[in-house]
């Protein structure tokens, strides 16, 4: 199977794939700056939580982008679920800092808020907006549909088969068992969701680790 590079990947130029690329560089620059600062300063418990959640979220985001580059769209789509979980959890902790203690204990029995509850904390006030397609607050219906779809993907429900559906060379419908190189709409959707979670992640990290604080405060 071919290994694609940024110069010849199958979904080069797809709108939201490109928008995700525009987010990745500033996000990585932000995380590098935060990492350097956290190594030299005392952190609040909430900042410590962010320092554990954000790197994993970034790793997942980059893994999704590389999976799209290589045409492994099902894997990319499935990875958006754990990315969402981390970003939603971080947003929830920012909005409910008293819950950091329970989170740090691994959410003892029945204390973990539902994904629906955590997702409702992902709405960003205008002051935390981004010029890169800042997502609107999801409605209750949007949240329900998204959670149902993610659950179906993870558990292999019948509806999840649509995530690998392709047209075969002879025009008949089939399913991709490896690289899917002919589904730009699917790649666009995956990168659009990843972009939305990435924007929220970047905004929450900026909220907890303001650039101005780190530039003006000696390490």
For residue 36, name the pLDDT band (cuts at 50, 70, 90). Answer: very high
| Cβ atoms 91, 193 nearer than 8 A | no
Distance CA 190, CA 195 (A): 9
> What are 72-103's pLDDT values in tens digits?
999 999 999 999 999 999 999 999 999 999 99
Distance CA 143, CA 41 (A): 37
Mean pLDDT of the chain: 86
Which stretch of DSSP H or E encloses residue 173? strand 173-175
Burial, 183: exposed, middle or buried (Cβ in 10 Å; 0-12, 13-18, 19+)?
Answer: buried
Which residue would you say has higher pLDDT here, 178 or 27?
A: 27
- What is the value of pTM for the model shown? 0.87
> What are 2-21's pLDDT values in tens digits?
899 999 999 999 999 999 99
Scanning 45-99, the segments in alpha helix (DSSP H) are 45-70, 73-95
> What are 100-149's pLDDT values in tens digits?
999 999 999 889 999 999 998 887 765 555 544 444 556 777 788 888 88
What residue segments make up the domains of the chain, in order of their start? 13-34+45-108+186-219
Cβ neighbors of 151 (< 8 A, separation 6 or more) are: 157
Hey, how many other C-beta atoms are within 10 angstroms of the C-beta on 57? 27
């Amino acid at each position: 199977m071919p290994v694609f590079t940024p110069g010849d990947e199958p979904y080069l130029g797809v709108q939201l794939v490109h928008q995700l690329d525009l987010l990745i560089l500033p996000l990585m620059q932000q995380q590098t700056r935060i990492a350097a600062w956290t190594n030299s300063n005392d952190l609040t418990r909430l900042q410590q939580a962010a320092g554990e959640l954000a790197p994993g979220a970034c790793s997942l985001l980059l893994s999704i982008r590389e999976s799209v580059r290589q045409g492994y769209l099902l894997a990319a789509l499935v990875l958006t679920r754990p990315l969402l979980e981390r970003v939603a959890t971080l947003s929830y902790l920012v909005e409910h800092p008293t819950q950091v203690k329970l989170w740090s204990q691994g959410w003892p029995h029945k204390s973990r808020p539902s994904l629906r509850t955590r997702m409702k904390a992902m709405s960003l006030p205008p002051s935390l907006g981004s010029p890169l397609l800042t997502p609107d607050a999801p409605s209750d219906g949007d949240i329900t549909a998204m959670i149902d779809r993610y659950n179906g993907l993870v558990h292999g429900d019948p509806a999840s088969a649509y995530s690998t559906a392709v047209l075969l060379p002879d025009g008949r419908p089939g399913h991709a068992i490896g690289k899917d190189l002919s589904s730009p709409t699917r790649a666009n959707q995956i990168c659009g969701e990843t972009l939305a979670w990435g924007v929220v992640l970047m905004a929450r990290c900026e909220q907890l680790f303001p650039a101005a604080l780190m530039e003006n405060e000696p390490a």
